């Protein structure tokens, strides 16, 4: 039986670089940093006092004000990105069967704002349990796809994936499999995260995972630079409408790219550190290539996990060389986290959008803030430092790796009838 082809027909984005796909992409290819000093709370006593916050976002543009208080910010971002993507895909009434439209969404943490604020309020009280009745529904990760489905009346498969920073990519993978299996015609997929708060910054500071370059936040996320000192926390959402090719053609949908395949693996090595030789990363990229029926030489761009941590960046480049061999030196590689920061569970969705647009527009977004060569990195790799590069992008691979050793990769390629 011929395997169903799956295509991208809609995009939506709420990011530190802009609250639309167009604004996000324009800032991305022009090397704009989304980092600045934290405005959401008083961070003066924290080791890290900056982040990549979403800016100028008004959830009331998308959600009734009475409903806003029933949702955590990670759900606000999810609904806004989903609305953009559904509009972009022109999913109008009568163009689809709502019983065959699903929502599969990723979030690594879910409602951290809600959890933090409710617990703080209880701790500061007199011990009387006065909790918001929406505490649990606001907090749980699966509530975002639930809200999206209720908003649009989508009654197909509906659930959340949780695999730390690989969550949104795992959501895309699950969507791919459901669509290939004929369980749905369309799946709204992606991820959202809203962890720029006291608990998020404090928790990652305690792990020594965040950059502490407070004197120059816009230069702090510097993947592959010798002087990198940790990642910059980001927030936001990305949404990708995935659809069977047959269904997309039948309703005359525009097609951005084809989701050719993907893979998942585990490091089985350490709670937070990557395998030093990138074993799990190698395995997941091999799996993605095999699932996509592509050779290493067919890939022109890798949007790497590239968090700007001393160990992670080296391990990922070792994995790329292991998998791609001599083809590794013909690739463009870049980390868009140098601009967006690390969106945790939403990273795979936002970076997936960057990969899709690189394929569509034949432009490679840069890895900004590179100043000093790291001798541990192979100098023959083209890490697309500081300036976007134009080239034909036949296919792009997007990597995401999460605490716990979770690895997920997807490959987008040019759509050819």
Q: Which of 247, 305, 370, 406 is catalytic?
A: 305
Q: Which of 137, 139, 146 is nearest to 113 (CA)?
A: 139
Catalytic one of 52, 76, 165, 406: 165
Angle among Cα 247, 256, 369 to the nearest 5 degrees reads 150
Cα dihedral sign, 77-78-79-84: positive
- Point out the catalytic residue in the list 147, 247, 275, 342: 342
Alpha helices by DSSP H, 8-134: 21-29, 65-68, 73-88, 112-124
Q: Which token pair is 90? A: 């022109």
What is the C-alpha R_g of the chain? 20
Cα–Cα distance measured from residue 152 to residue 86, given in angstroms and rounded to the nearest whole number: 9
**SS3 label, residue 376:** coil
30 catalytic per annotation? no
In terms of Cα–Cα distance, which of 111, 112, 17, 113 is closest to 56?
A: 17
Q: Tell me if residue 239 is catalytic.
A: no
Beta strands 6-14 and 50-51 are unpaired
- Using CA atoms, how far apart are residues 113 and 117, in angstroms rounded to an integer? 6
Torsion (CA) 29, 399, 304, 333 in degrees, nearest 10? -80
- The question of whether 342 is a catalytic residue gets the answer yes
- Cα–Cα distance measured from residue 336 to residue 304, given in angstroms and rounded to the nearest whole number: 8
The encoded tokens of residue 395 equal 């296919």
* Cα end-to-end distance, the chain, whole Å: 19
With 0-12 / 13-18 / 19 or more C-beta atoms within 10 angstroms meaning exposed / middle / buried, residue 130 is exposed
As a whole number of angstroms, the distance between CA 66 and CA 216 comes to 39
Residues 200, 346: Cα–Cα separation, whole Å: 15
Query: Which residue numbers are catalytic?
Result: 165, 305, 342
């Amino acid at each position: 039986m011929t395997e169903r082809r799956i295509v991208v027909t809609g995009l939506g984005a709420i990011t530190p670089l802009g609250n639309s796909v167009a604004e996000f992409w324009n800032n991305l290819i022009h090397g704009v940093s989304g980092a600045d000093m934290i405005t959401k709370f008083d961070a003066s006593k924290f080791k890290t006092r900056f982040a990549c916050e979403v800016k100028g976002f008004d959830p009331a543009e998308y959600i009734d004000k009475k409903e806003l208080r029933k949702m955590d910010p990670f759900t606000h971002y999810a609904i806004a990105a989903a609305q953009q993507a559904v509009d972009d895909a022109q999913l109008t009434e009568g163009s689809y069967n709502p019983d065959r439209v699903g929502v599969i969404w990723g979030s690594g943490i879910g409602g951290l704002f809600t959890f933090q604020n409710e617990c703080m309020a209880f701790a500061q009280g007199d011990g009387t349990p006065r909790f918001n009745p929406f505490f649990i529904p606001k907090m749980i990760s699966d509530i975002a796809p639930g809200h999206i489905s209720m908003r649009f009346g989508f009654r197909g498969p509906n659930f959340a994936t949780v695999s730390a920073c690989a969550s949104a990519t795992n959501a895309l993978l699950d969507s791919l499999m459901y669509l290939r299996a004929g369980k749905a015609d369309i799946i709204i997929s992606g991820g959202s995260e809203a962890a720029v708060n006291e608990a998020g910054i404090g928790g990652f500071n305690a792990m020594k995972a965040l950059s502490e370059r407070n004197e120059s936040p816009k230069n702090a996320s510097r993947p592959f630079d010798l002087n990198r000192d940790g990642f910059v926390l980001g927030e936001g959402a990305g949404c990708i409408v995935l659809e069977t090719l047959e269904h997309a053609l039948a309703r005359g949908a525009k097609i951005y790219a084809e989701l050719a395949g993907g893979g998942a693996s585990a490091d089985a090595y350490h709670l937070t550190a990557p395998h030093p030789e990138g074993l799990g990363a190698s395995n997941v990229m091999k799996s993605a290539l095999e699932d996509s029926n592509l050779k290493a030489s067919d890939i022109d761009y890798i949007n790497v996990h590239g968090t700007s941590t001393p160990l992670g960046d080296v391990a990922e480049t070792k994995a790329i060389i292991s998998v791609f061999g001599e083809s590794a030196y013909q690739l463009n590689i870049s980390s868009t986290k140098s601009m967006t920061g690390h969106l945790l569970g939403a990273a795979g969705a936002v970076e997936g959008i960057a990969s899709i647009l690189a394929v569509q527009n034949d432009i490679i977004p840069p890895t900004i803030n590179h100043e000093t060569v790291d001798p541990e990195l192979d100098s023959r790799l083209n890490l697309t430092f500081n300036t976007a590069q134009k080239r034909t992008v036949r296919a792009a691979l997007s990597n995401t790796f999460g605490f716990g050793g979770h690895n997920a990769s997807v490959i987008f390629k040019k759509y050819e009838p």
